[in-house]
Structure 1
Amino acid sequence: MNYPRGVPDEPDLLASTVEEIDAALLGGHRAYSAHDLARRADIGVDVVRGFWATMGLPHSDPDDPFYTERDAEAVDRAAALVREHGLDLRTVITVTRALGHTSDRLALWQVEALVEDMASRYELDDATARLLVLDRLVELAPVLEAQLVHSYRRQLAAIAGRYAAEFGEIGNPGPDATALPLARAVGFADMVSFTRRTAGLGSTDLSEFVQRFEAAARDVVTAAGGRVVKTIGDAVLFVADDAATGARVALGLADALGRELDVDSATAAGGIAEGARGVTPVRVGFVWGRVLSRFGDVFGPVVNLAARLTDIAEPSHVLTDQLTAAALAGDPSFTTAELAALELQGLGTVVPVQLRAAQP
């Protein structure tokens, strides 16, 4: 099949394309060394090198002209966070690490999606599709960047709204001054028999399968009022601001994901391997309690408990604990049933409670 224009297929043309991408995305050619950036920002060269290492983009030679004008501006802004806004250097490092970790995954995710799109639309092999993405990257980047900034601002506004709503709780964790600061419902949904079901899949089918799981999980979580903290291959970690919302998320995941991931109906072309056919249910565990939110993740004993409950849940079932069941006791939307007590390593004796939606 013909596609709109050729792709760079000679080494010199490829090098030229990469130089053009550098110039377009990074604000000109690489003309500054780490020493140059340090002098310009009036900081130590070790701080400059630490900034790029924290971004996940270290460069070994501090005298090598590796950086561009926009790189220099980024270092200037990091220095201004300390000088003009009074942030501690460790805080700047944490913020920078968050950007590096998140943008690395985001860029890879989006570029791989573009490769799949090019390969599918123009019937290209993987290598040619990647070269075509390189050829299109400069024109696509401004649109992707604008969407990223809009999404980021939207997320900041949403966080500000949640903080405002729970301001009193954040400032007063309760009688126990050592308690973790945030009350949250925390849960996991873990795909059953992921390894067996995906054995033998090629890269395209495996990518489609994993993407469908992640997209379906996010849709269910957000529709019920929760938020996805992260996905881990065949599992998703979610949070919600109250126990009832967490219960609706958990039940929604257990009910919907098997149907969403019915691979026979999802892949009209019939390319999915036999081992992955059929409904793919999930096990779900969720707990209401207090957590610490850091590094874009959540931590605390209730997170560990939710994970262990997920491990022991039956497919398409939701398990919680007695305290969470008590928090839901007055809500007629749910029913609970205590199961036999179990010894869970590191947690002691736990009484799992099966959660169900009340029948209308």
Structure 2
Amino acid sequence: MSEAGDATVDRAHALDAVLLGGPRTLTLRDLAERSGLDLEQVRLYWRTLGLPHPDADEVAFTCRDGEALERLARLLHEDHLGSRTMISLTRALGHTSDRLALWQVEALVEDMATRRDLDDPAARRAVLDELADLAPVLETQLLHAYRRHLAAIASRYSVEFAAGQDVGGDPAALPLARAVGFADMVSFTRRTAGLGSTDLSDFVQRFETAARDVVTQCGGRVVKTIGDAVLFVADDVRTGAKVALELARVLGGDLDVERERGAGGLAEGARGVTPVRVGVVWGRVLSRFGDVFGPSVNVAARLTDIADPSTVLTDPATARLLVDTPGLLLEPLPARELEGIGTLAPVRVRTA
């Protein structure tokens, strides 16, 4: 290995000790003994975090790993948290943390490459040099954002309980009444063909940023982005329609023209990212694994397949709920066959 390679490995080892709170002195068996969990439970915990687990007697873990297992064991034994729930909570942490860490590190690499005019390997080495100083700041911001989101969820639940929202005693009904919408980017493959890594990253980031800004500013919430599409929910049907119309309005125009104009606020830099087709439907959904499921989700997705660019479609049942909404026009369209759904007469939602 070259001297530069040796130096990089040394930096990675030093950073490893900083991030993990100390040297690796424990094995899987040690973790099991300290926590009171059996060896298979410890292996399962590590696997659901999405991290590789070594042999039972390989020294690979730190005291901080042991403390995390001890806290989990207390949840299982003292608070009677079910093992299935434990797996779900841990899997959520692993999935989200893995994506978050990768997202942030790659953003730092891109920033280093751009600001310091470095090639990719040099930018990654520069990030390794600074990550020990950046990690505490990122960790603090993560905890702050997490607590704010927990508080927001608790607030929404309180409002729903106060309003008496329930499933009407039907045990078979899905628990949550929500407006669900999809916004699907038009001609993503054609628009991104031939883009280099920097331009492709910029394109996708502008789409995600613009979509999230529109959804949150209009009162909705982004469930997930899927490359060239965004799935959102809203707590009432009118807010859902507002989000859908604003997505169709803002995410339109010509990307090259906007790139020449330069990035700015939402009205300047986000407008014109790319046209989208939007479907929005009111119905009951199941919220699990950071996602939503139910027939209305499927209908909203299929409506985007038949929508024209920069337009919003809904189903007849949702249109009836919107009929008295000030500022909206509802335009019934001929019945269409939707894959996996059947025949449906879509309704175009427009701003008056």
Distance 1:170 1:293, change over 3 A: farther
Question: Paired residue for 1:63, among 42, 54, 57?
Answer: 57
Deviations 1:143-172 (A, max 9, x none): 000000000000000000000010267773
**Structure 1 residue ranges without an equivalent (≥5):** 1-7, 270-277
Question: Paired residue for 2:206, among 188, 202, 212?
Answer: 212
Relative to the length of structure 1, the TM-score reads 0.92
Partner Cα distance (1:302, 1:338) in 2: 19
Q: Report whether the alignment pairs 1:155 with 2:160.
A: no
Q: Report whether the alignment pairs 1:13 with 2:33.
A: no
For 1:90, give the aligned amino acid.
Answer: R
Corresponding residue for residue 321 of structure 1: 315
**C-alpha deviation, 1:176, in angstroms:** 2.8
Contact 2:181 2:297 in 1 (8 A): yes
Distance 1:229 1:31, change over 3 A: same
Deviations 1:90-143 (A, max 9, x none): 101100000000010000000010001100100000110011001100000000
Question: Paired residue for 1:307, among 301, 305, 309?
Answer: 301
Deviations 1:25-73 (A, max 9, x none): 1010111110000000011111001001000002231111111111111
Secondary structure, aligned partner of 2:251: helix
Contact 1:170 1:181 in 2 (8 A): no
Distance 1:267 1:202, change over 3 A: farther
Corresponding residue for residue 273 of structure 1: none
Contact 1:254 1:317 in 2 (8 A): yes
Corresponding residue for residue 134 of structure 2: 140
Q: How many residues align?
A: 343
Corresponding residue for residue 223 of structure 1: 217
Corresponding residue for residue 255 of structure 2: 262
Corresponding residue for residue 293 of structure 1: 287
For 2:296, give the aligned amino acid.
Answer: V
Partner Cα distance (2:260, 2:142) in 1: 30
Aligned pairs for 1:1-360 (under 5 A) are 10-167=4-161, 172-259=166-253, 262-266=255-259, 280-358=274-352
Partner Cα distance (1:195, 1:169) in 2: 44
Contact 1:119 1:125 in 2 (8 A): yes
Partner Cα distance (1:130, 1:283) in 2: 38
Partner Cα distance (1:84, 1:175) in 2: 33
Partner Cα distance (1:265, 1:119) in 2: 24
Secondary structure, aligned partner of 2:252: helix
Corresponding residue for residue 3 of structure 1: none
Q: Give the root-mean-square deviation of aligned CA atoms.
A: 1.8
**Structure 2 residue ranges without an equivalent (≥5):** 263-271
Corresponding residue for residue 265 of structure 2: none
Distance 1:182 1:168, change over 3 A: farther
Partner Cα distance (1:266, 1:167) in 2: 46
Secondary structure, aligned partner of 2:340: coil
Partner Cα distance (1:59, 1:50) in 2: 9
Relative to the length of structure 2, the TM-score reads 0.94
